[in-house]
Chains A and B, each alone.
Chain A
Amino acid sequence: MAPTVVKRIVKAGILNFRRSGLVSWAAVLVVTITLSVITAIILLQAVLYFSLAQIKDKVDVTIYFTVGAPESKIMTLKSSLEKLPEVREVTYVSAEEALAIFKERHASDYPTIQALDEIGDNPLGGYLNVQAKEISQYENIANFLQSDNSLVLGASSIVDKVNYHQNKLVIDRLNNIIGGAQKLGFLITLILVIITIIITFNTIRLTIFIAKEEIGVMRLVGASKMQVRGPFMMEAVIYGLLATFLTLLIFLPVTAWLGHNMTNFLGINMYDYYLSNFLQILVILLLSGIILGIISSYLAVRKYLDK
């Protein structure tokens, strides 16, 4: 397209926006609502993922060793476990450390401490704490420990118990809840986005419906399709730009309030999250607003152009 044509389209789009007054601002408002819904969804997803990640972190499998199990064997098992692709982290707690932790935890429980002192020897064995990358992978790790794999051969003699099977029910249930929450989150996001897209599309269609006659006249005086369509698309770009700016502005005090008052409840400081992801959010909003506007106006004008 020639630069003059582009220049004229941009100029006409800006003029039309200014002259349409309230209609233009109504469209900006609707696009702002759409973009606000998208921003709210981004922030909600952040809360959801943050909470889920925290819950996931609390899940682990502990391998308890028999009292007096040689440390070298434990270390061999540890390094074999670390090689598994499902494993994120393995921490070893020796028998002495286990005793120290136990004593600290029961510091105020005098009879227990006294009983321990009377035994004299350390009645506790060491243990390995295994964290998987995904909750669903704990079963594989537990199965690995029970397998005949050469890497764990001989380990069964030193393993006292693996608490996976006691925790299995809880882990499975948690896994289902997390999966469900993610699916539900996605579904709600999808429905909200579809609804707002339809509303925006119809609003832009309405603004173009008002100019229906105008489109016919432009065609009659010999304007090409692009000459008719261009200014409307430019107007939609302005809606997108202004709506993005307004949405970003609205969410500043909103997230500041959330950050100040709701950080404990949400588990994440919304204001910090908003500011640190500001650029990404800006790009998402800008693209959604502009692309949505351009597609809507393109389709709406086409309806009258083809007549």
Chain B
Amino acid sequence: MIYFNNVSKIYKDATALDDVTFTIEGGEFVSIVGHSGAGKTTLTRMILAEEPPTEGSVFFESINVHELKSHDLTKLRRRIGVVFQDYKLLPNKTAYENIAFAMEAVGKTDEEIKSDVPHVLELVDLTHRYNHFPHQLSGGEQQRLAIARAIINQPELILADEPTGNLDPVNTHEIVEIFKKINDLGTTVILTTHNRGVIESVNKRVITMENGKIIKDTKHHK
């Protein structure tokens, strides 16, 4: 599903990714682990075509994501649900509207929005908070809302960049459980983290990065 082919990203004075090659199959749950600055975030930004590689190419199925026109890129992003460490919710919209906006973006009707949003809010246990703005929610609630927004359009891939980075252990556990549930339903999940506990509780394939290079991939050790 995702294929990195000899990808390097070099900023002015630093190498963020150094000749990275790997493949992720549909339905996998892959944790990408490494210290800060190891290149995890750069890697996720490449999948979303937020940054072009200096060398190499990134494929989503058979599409080279960096060769897409703006309009097609929008279409591709609709197939990916994204979760960030800092949640990136729309501050001027309520919990309900944040999710509804993602549905509007893909052109869902008002009826579909009205029927689907309450379901997903229930799934992440935020039904009672539907009318609250992000700043009125706790960190864990904000992240659950971000996940709800990411999964509402039934994406083929969930991309979670340090989703538990700002959360306490209890909330971290809840979030990981949600991701496992999503993966069980068939969605591919890519999760970056520097938290060993998260990797252990997921207990799936782990790609370890250091200084922009893949130094270990458990797929090849199984």
- Check if B92 sits within 8 Å of A221, measured CB to CB: no
- Please tell me if B109 contacts chain A, counting CB pairs below 8 Å: yes
- Please tell me if A213 contacts chain B, counting CB pairs below 8 Å: yes
- Please tell me if B70 contacts chain A, counting CB pairs below 8 Å: yes
Contact A19 to B92, CB < 8 A, known contacts A219-B77, A221-B101, A222-B77: yes
Which of A4, A217, A222, A223 gathers most chain B CB within 10 Å?
A222
| Chain A nearest Cβ from B135, distance in angstroms | 12
- Check if A214 sits within 8 Å of B101, measured CB to CB: no
Total CB contacts across the A-B interface at under 8 A: 51
- Please tell me if B30 contacts chain A, counting CB pairs below 8 Å: no
Q: Mark B71-94, 1 if CB is under 8 A from A, else 0.
A: 100110110001000001111100
- Please tell me if A218 contacts chain B, counting CB pairs below 8 Å: yes
Q: Mark A213-247, 1 if CB is under 8 A from B, else 0.
A: 11011111111110100000000000000000000
- Please tell me if B116 contacts chain A, counting CB pairs below 8 Å: no
- Please tell me if A20 contacts chain B, counting CB pairs below 8 Å: yes
Q: What size tier do the contact residues of chain B reach?
A: 20 to 34
Q: How far is the CA of A218 from the CA of B91 in the complex (A)?
A: 11
| Chain A nearest Cβ from B167, distance in angstroms | 19
Chain B residues near A222 (CB-CB < 8 A) = 74-75, 77-78, 102, 105-106, 153
Chain B residues near A4 (CB-CB < 8 A) = 109-110
Chain A residues near B177 (CB-CB < 8 A) = none
Q: Mark A93-135, 1 if CB is under 8 A from B, else 0.
A: 0000000000000000000000000000000000000000000
- Check if A225 sits within 8 Å of B92, measured CB to CB: no
Contact A217 to B74, CB < 8 A, known contacts A4-B109, A227-B104: no
Closest to B81 in A: A221
- Please tell me if A16 contacts chain B, counting CB pairs below 8 Å: yes
A223 partner, pick from B48, B89, B105, B110, beta carbons under 8 A: B105
A221 partner, pick from B50, B71, B149, beta carbons under 8 A: B149
Which of A15, A216, A221 gathers most chain B CB within 10 Å?
A221
- Please tell me if A73 contacts chain B, counting CB pairs below 8 Å: no
Chain B residues near A224 (CB-CB < 8 A) = 71, 74, 105
Q: Chain A: interface secondary structure?
A: helix
| Chain B nearest Cβ from A221, distance in angstroms | 5
B91 partner, pick from A214, A220, A225, beta carbons under 8 A: A214
- Check if A20 sits within 8 Å of B90, measured CB to CB: no
Chain A residues near B102 (CB-CB < 8 A) = 221-222
Interface residues of B in 147-170 (CB under 8 A from A): 149, 153
Q: How far is the CA of A87 from the CA of B110 in the complex (A)?
A: 70
Contact A223 to B101, CB < 8 A, known contacts A4-B109, A4-B110: yes
| Chain B nearest Cβ from A49, distance in angstroms | 47
| Chain B nearest Cβ from A107, distance in angstroms | 81
- Check if A218 sits within 8 Å of B109, measured CB to CB: no
B105 partner, pick from A19, A211, A216, A218, beta carbons under 8 A: A218
Chain A residues near B70 (CB-CB < 8 A) = 225
- Please tell me if A173 contacts chain B, counting CB pairs below 8 Å: no
Chain B residues near A227 (CB-CB < 8 A) = 104-105
- Please tell me if A8 contacts chain B, counting CB pairs below 8 Å: yes
Chain A residues near B101 (CB-CB < 8 A) = 218, 221, 223
When A and B form their complex, which 8 residue pairs have the shortest distance between CB atoms, in order from nearest? A222-B78, A223-B105, A222-B105, A221-B102, A222-B77, A217-B88, A19-B92, A214-B90
- Please give 14 more A-B residue pairs, beta carbons under 8 A apart, in addition to A222-B75, A222-B106, A223-B104: A4-B109, A4-B110, A19-B92, A214-B92, A216-B88, A221-B77, A221-B82, A222-B77, A222-B153, A223-B74, A223-B105, A224-B74, A225-B70, A227-B105
